[in-house]
Amino acid sequence: MRIVDLINKKKYGEKLTKDEIDFIIFGYTKGEVPDYQMSAMLMAIYFQGMDKEETSYLTDAFVRSGDTVDLSAIEGIKVDKHSTGGVGDKISLIVTPLVASCGIPVAKMSGRGLGHTGGTVDKLESIEGFKIELTSEAFIKNVNEHKMAIVGQSGDLTPADKKIYALRDVTGTIDSIPLIASSIMSKKIASGADAIVLDVKVGSGAFMKSLEDARILAHTMVDIGSRLGRKTVAIITNMDQPLGHEVGNANEVREAIEVLKGNGAEDETEVAMTIASYMAVLGGAYKTVEEAHAYFETLIKSGAAIEKLKTFVEIQGGNPDLIEHPERLPVASKHVEVKADLEGYVSGFDAEKVGISAMMLGAGRKKKEDPIDYAAGITLKKKIGDHVNLGDVLCILHTNEEKTIEAEKMVRAAFVFSGIEPEPIKYIYEIIE
């Protein structure tokens, strides 16, 4: 085989075999295929696409390019969830104790955030003492005894994907559905889950801007999971505005606590409960999503959900008292109110601008090595459908930075106003099984 022949084959829209895809991926990982040839192959895939079989072969090659996590010592069906990324997305903090409470093991590896705000790991680290580095023995013990653990990504998982992703970033091939789907699914499969619930976000604050693209991505990932022996469900959710009212790290933890107490915002509660319910069904705890949903509602009302979160924090070295007293989580020194300079209804959002504004305040990273200010973030006081009077507070910026003018400009530009009350928005568009 020669790489140039395979580039030409894909360039003309022909299908690559499993052996040919292995030859390309393992050759590139070992350094035998140069960047310029891999770039040509990525561009050929970008324009010609890949069919379902090719995409599953590519995903499998990514998985086999490095380590895989062996979760066989954990009893039961291990269920994981993955979000394609959004603004104010604290869903993992909510669903982990819920799903663990019905006996389904949640053995989750999460990454740090780059861009808008911190990732799940960063949010958890805003809790005093919380350890995201656990030995494999402690990780397995926590999941077997308490049915839950979240740790930072470790080991050499999917090195081929990491190397190719860096190349996609500089060759204009990021937005290719087969490449996106195989990248996401390879990491989930290498992490050892038996079943996966995907939160595919669509809208102004998501990577996928159109419902049609989100639908194609969701179907592609569900198909990959099925072909590679993983029960997979994709839930397409709205990211035309941030989830809930808090964007940041410590403030998102506070908001997750409120959801588990039954006081959460409607959008994040509906999304979290739906994802948790599908995880419970895939894990075999319930036969129907309705049964699982009813159980979780009871769990929240009884106070058992918040107790499970306290247990989760405690078994990973964190201070459980902070769940009882979330006001003791990191708080910024400055709180800047952004007020409306016109009247009308909030009819839309550029959610990405809210995320960028939060990053400017210190809640996210521009580069991997940048520190995160756990106290920084934004509290939204108005969302889509709310009426706004002149001088009403649209949001509050929380920061320890001296200057906030640019962040204020950015977040103000995120609000879209209309003189007509908008139709209620959907939080969940569709579910693909």
Residue range 238-271, pLDDT digits in tens: 999 999 999 999 999 999 999 999 999 999 999 9
Residue 268 to residues 234, 255, 357: CA-CA distances in angstroms? 17, 10, 21
**The token pair that represents 45 in the structure block:** 């895939």
Residue range 281-300, pLDDT digits in tens: 999 999 999 999 999 999 99
Q: Which residue blocks in 147-246 are alpha helix, DSSP H?
A: 159-171, 177-190, 211-227
Helix (H, G, I), strand (E, B) or coil at 50: coil
CA–chain centroid gap for 123, Å, is 12
Tokens 């606590």 — which residue? 257
> Pairing relation of β-strands 393-399 and 334-339?
antiparallel
Helix (H, G, I), strand (E, B) or coil at 336: strand
Output the pLDDT for position 370.
Answer: 81
Strand partners, 237: 201, 428
**Residue 341 CB coordination number (10 Å):** 10
* pLDDT beyond 70 at 114: no
Cβ partners under 8 Å of residue 280, min gap 6: 99, 102, 104, 286, 292, 295, 296
Identify the burial level of 30 via C-beta atoms within 10 angstroms of its C-beta, where 0-12 means exposed, 13-18 middle and 19 or more buried: exposed
C-beta of residue 373 within 8 angstroms of C-beta of residue 135:
no
**Residue 400 CB coordination number (10 Å):** 14
Identify the burial level of 128 via C-beta atoms within 10 angstroms of its C-beta, where 0-12 means exposed, 13-18 middle and 19 or more buried: middle
Output the pLDDT for position 115.
Answer: 61
Confidence of residue 367 (pLDDT cuts 50, 70, 90): confident
**The token pair that represents 29 in the structure block:** 């990982």
Long-range contacts of 319-322 (CB under 8 A, 24+ apart): 319/127, 319/128, 319/129, 322/127, 322/128
Distance from C-alpha of 165 to C-alpha of 25, rounded to nearest angstrom: 12
User: Per-residue pLDDT averaged across 89-111, rounded?
Assistant: 95
Confidence of residue 303 (pLDDT cuts 50, 70, 90): very high
Dihedral class, residue 184 (left if φ above 0, else alpha if ψ from -120 to 50, else beta): alpha
Helix (H, G, I), strand (E, B) or coil at 129: coil
Confidence of residue 357 (pLDDT cuts 50, 70, 90): very high
C-beta of residue 340 within 8 angstroms of C-beta of residue 389:
yes
C-beta of residue 384 within 8 angstroms of C-beta of residue 314:
no
Strand partners, 388: 344
Q: What's the whole-model pTM score?
A: 0.95
> Pairing relation of β-strands 79-83 and 377-380?
unpaired
Active site positions, annotated = 82, 161, 168, 183, 187
* pLDDT beyond 80 at 116: no
Confidence of residue 118 (pLDDT cuts 50, 70, 90): confident
What percentage of the chain reaches a pLDDT higher than 90?
92
Residue 131 to residues 20, 83, 122, 124: CA-CA distances in angstroms? 42, 22, 11, 8
Amino acid making up residue 361? L
**The token pair that represents 274 in the structure block:** 């739906």
Distance from C-alpha of 33 to C-alpha of 11, rounded to nearest angstrom: 17
Output the pLDDT for position 365.
Answer: 83
Residue range 386-427, pLDDT digits in tens: 999 999 999 999 999 999 999 999 999 999 999 999 999 999
Helix (H, G, I), strand (E, B) or coil at 338: strand
* pLDDT beyond 90 at 189: yes
C-beta of residue 106 within 8 angstroms of C-beta of residue 71:
no
Residue range 140-162, pLDDT digits in tens: 999 999 999 999 877 789 999 99
Residue 368 to residues 115, 161, 206, 259, 272: CA-CA distances in angstroms? 9, 18, 20, 30, 28
Distance from C-alpha of 281 to C-alpha of 291, rounded to nearest angstrom: 9
Residue range 73-90, pLDDT digits in tens: 999 999 999 999 899 999
C-beta of residue 430 within 8 angstroms of C-beta of residue 214:
no
User: Per-residue pLDDT averaged across 25-44, rounded?
Assistant: 98
Distance from C-alpha of 49 to C-alpha of 11, rounded to nearest angstrom: 10
